[in-house]
Structure 1
C-alpha cells in the first residue's frame, strides 16, 4: 500500500527528530525548540511563574513539561481558578536503552584503547555489536561567571568513534547458533583506537571547548550512527533507533502544538462542552522510564504533580482546586506497543494484538502494568472518534511477564484517571527498531484530540 503524502511527511519528520536526539537531553532540547516555534515561553523552575495567561514550558534535565493557560482569560492575569477546570495531560518518556560510559572510562586491553560502559535499561545487547557508534551527552564545565560555578553543555559526535567488536565464530563455535553469551562487564566495552594517543577527558573537553581540568562531570551515551530511513518495496516502513520512545515524544510534542492553535488556525476548541470547565492541555516528557522512573526527573517523582499544582496556584486557585483538578483530569501515557511479529506470531496474545499500520493502540493489563481503566479507555476512545481514528488493543500474553510504562507511576502520584496507549512496532529495545510509516500521523492526531479541550473528563465512576 502506498503511503499518503501526509503520512510520509510525518514519518520523515519523526526520523529527523530522532536523528537529532541521540540522548534524552538532546530530545528535550529539540522538543523545546519545536515548542518555542509555537509560541511557548520557557520558565525557570526555581523562580515564580507568571499568572498571565500564556503558553509555557519548563525543563529539568532530560524531562520537560509544557502547558497553555491562554484560554483562561481574555486579558491580564487569571484572578480566580475557573470552576470545574482540570487538566488534559499527554505523557511520554525521552530515554531509550543504550550503553553509557563509566566515570573513569579509559583503559587499555591487549593493546587496544577501550572505554568502560554500563548497560542502561534493557537493550537487545547483540544488536549493539559491530556497529559504528557515535557518542553524545552532557558535560558540566567549570564556569565562575554563572551561579554554582559551572555550566552544563550538550555535545555529540556524529562521526564513527566507537565499536563493540564481536568475537569471531572461529573462536567460539556456539556463536553460529545464536551468538556467544555476552558478559556485560567484559564483552561490551567499545574500542576506539590502539595507539594510546588520546584520553577520554581530553577528548570530551575538546567537544565542549574547554581544558580537561575544567570538566567536572559528564554523562556520555553511545548511539547508532545510521540515520532513520523509510524502507520496503513501497517505503511504508520506518526503520530508526530509539523509536521507543522518541516516536511518542515527537508525536506528543506535535500534538501539543496542534492543541494550542487558535480557532482561526483550525485548532481544536479550547473550551469544554456543556457542564465542563476549561481544560488545560499539558505535555510531560519524563526521563528514566527505562530504569524504573525513580529519579528526580522520572515519573515516580513529584515533577508533574508539582508543576500542575503551581499552575493552579499561579492562576488564583488553592489546594482544594488542585485536588479537584486532579480528580477530574485525564492523563494519556504514550509508549510503544508490540506489534504481532511475522516470525514469532505465537508470542502475541491471539485475540488482542495490534498490527503495524493499524493506528494507535490502547494498552490493557489486569495486573496494573498499564494504567488503563474503564473511564480512561472510554475517554481515549472518544478522542479517537473525534479524530476519525479507530484504536487497536494490546494485551500481553498471560504466560509472559509484561513490561510497564510511566502511566502506572504517574497515576499513583496524581490519582488522575490514566490510560496507556502507543503505536505498534517490531524489534523493541534493539539498537534499530521498525514501525509503519503511516502510523505516526494518526498517533499524533489522537494525542492532539486528547489535548484539545473538547475531550471531557471521565470523572469518577460510582
Structure 2
C-alpha cells in the first residue's frame, strides 16, 4: 500500500486486518506476516544481533507485542528515530483458568473482565473464542499455538424486561454473576461437563492436524463478537468494528512503516496490556523498547543524544463528540468524525503532548494536506490515558498523543470515521520520511 493509495483501498485493508485479529496474539501475528512479506528480517531476543543500516527488522515478545524497525542509511545522530507507538489489546471478556460451569444443565464459562469494558453491549451477541494455547508436545516440551473458533459458539443472553422492569432506568451488571456466556445445553442437569482444555485441544487439531498436542496445559482465551467489521451509513461515512481501539492505530503504523524512507530510521512498537496499565514484560511500562534501543545503541552517550533528536507519536483513539451527549465535552474541544486526527492534551500529563510536539505534528499534517483537531477533557471530568506518558517517562523521548476520533470506545463494537484512519496514515507517512530532526526539537533549542 503506497502513500498515494485511495482511502477505499486503505479501509479495505483495515477491515481485513480487524477481521483477522480477534486477540493481541492474532494482531501481532498478522502485523509480522505483512512485515515478513515486505522483506523485514526477524530477530530473536535470545540471539546475538548484528544490525546493519539499510535493513529492516522485526522482533516480537510474548507473541502479543512487536517492534518493527527501518534502520535508515543516514546517521542516527543526524536524523534521530521516528517512533510510532500503539497497543494490540482491547477490553474484552477472558476465560478463567477453571472456567467450567453447570447451571441447571447449561454449560457456561466463568470469565474475567479485561480492562474498562462497556459491558451492556456484550449481551445477545454471537460470540466466538480465540487466543493462545500452551501445550505439551511428544517431547514433553511446552509449545504454544494460536486458536480461533471463528464461528459463533457462545452468547450472553439478556434477562427479559418482564423480569427486570427497571432495566431501561437503573440496570446494573454484576461482572461475577451476570455475564457468564452460554455454550451448550447438556443432556441432563447432572451430566458431565466438557473439559475446556479438551475442547481447545480438539479445535487446535481440527484446524492444525500437524500439531503434536499431547496435553493442553494452559491458555489465554478471549471472547469476541463474530459480526464482521463494516462500512456503514447512507454515505459509507463510518467504520463499525470491534477493537478499533487500538488496532486502527496499529494498522496505520504498519502501513506507514511499509512506506518508510530507507534513508531515515523509523520504528513501530505495538505493545500489549495498555488497557490494564501496561505493566508487564511486553507492555509499554516494561523494558521492551528500552532494551531494543540499548542493543541498537550500546553506548549511553550516543543513545541519549539520539533520543534527544527523536520523537514518538503515541497513536490511540480519541473521543469524538457524541451528538446525543454533547455536554460531555468541553465546548471548544469536541472532535468530529471525518475531520482529521486529534491532538490530545491534558495538563496533568494523562497525555504526553507538549507545545513542541504538537507544533511539529501540525506541521506534518500541513505537509500531508491533512486536517487536524484537538481534544481536551472537560475540566470537571477525568480522561483516559495512553502509552504516551509511559514511554515518555521510561525512555525520555519527546512524545505527542494523537488518535482518530471514535464513538463507543470500549464497547464490543466501536465507530470511527471512514476518513480519519487514512488521514492519520498520511501524516505518519510524512513523519517516517522527514529527513532531519523536528526543527523545534534540535538539541540546544
CA distance in structure 1 between the partners assigned to 2:237 and 2:370 by the alignment: 19
Secondary structure of the 1:246 match is: helix
CA distance in structure 1 between the partners assigned to 2:435 and 2:334 by the alignment: 29
1:371 paired residue among 352, 372, 387: 352
Secondary structure of the 2:250 match is: helix
Secondary structure of the 2:236 match is: coil
After the TM superposition, which residues 27-426 of structure 1 pair with which residues of structure 2 at under 5 Å, given as runs?
27-53=27-53, 54-61=55-62, 62-72=64-74, 83-143=77-137, 145=139, 149-177=141-169, 180-195=171-186, 198-209=194-205, 214-260=215-261, 270=263, 279-313=264-298, 318-426=299-407
Q: Could you list the per-position Cα deviations for residues 396-432 of structure 1 after superposition, in whole angstroms to 9, with x for gaps in the alignment?
A: 1111111100000000001110000000111101100
1:143 offset after TM fit, Å? 2.6
1:214 offset after TM fit, Å? 1.2
Secondary structure of the 1:259 match is: coil
Secondary structure of the 2:178 match is: coil
Secondary structure of the 1:106 match is: strand
Identify which range, 430-439 or 448-457, moves more after superposition: 448-457
1:121 offset after TM fit, Å? 0.2
Question: Residues 99 and 117 of structure 1 are in contact (CA less than 8 Å); yes or no, is this contact kept in structure 2?
Answer: yes
Secondary structure of the 1:64 match is: strand
CA distance in structure 2 between the partners assigned to 1:423 and 1:83 by the alignment: 32
1:460 offset after TM fit, Å? 5.3
CA distance in structure 2 between the partners assigned to 1:84 and 1:324 by the alignment: 10
The structure-2 alpha-carbon separation of the partners of 1:159 and 1:312, relative to structure 1 and needing over 3 Å to count, comes to: same
Q: How big is the alpha-carbon RMSD for the aligned residues of Structure 1 and Structure 2?
A: 1.9
Question: Residues 351 and 388 of structure 2 are in contact (CA less than 8 Å); yes or no, is this contact kept in structure 1?
Answer: yes
Secondary structure of the 1:45 match is: coil
Identify which range, 81-90 or 130-139, moves more after superposition: 81-90
TM-score (norm 2): 0.92
Question: Residues 205 and 211 of structure 1 are in contact (CA less than 8 Å); yes or no, is this contact kept in structure 2?
Answer: no
Structure 1 unpaired stretches of 5+: 73-80, 263-269, 271-278
Structure 2 unpaired stretches of 5+: 206-210
TM-score (norm 1): 0.89
Q: State how many pairs are aligned.
A: 428
CA distance in structure 2 between the partners assigned to 1:170 and 1:455 by the alignment: 66
Question: Residues 140 and 218 of structure 1 are in contact (CA less than 8 Å); yes or no, is this contact kept in structure 2?
Answer: yes
CA distance in structure 2 between the partners assigned to 1:171 and 1:406 by the alignment: 43
The structure-2 alpha-carbon separation of the partners of 1:83 and 1:344, relative to structure 1 and needing over 3 Å to count, comes to: closer
The structure-2 alpha-carbon separation of the partners of 1:460 and 1:350, relative to structure 1 and needing over 3 Å to count, comes to: farther
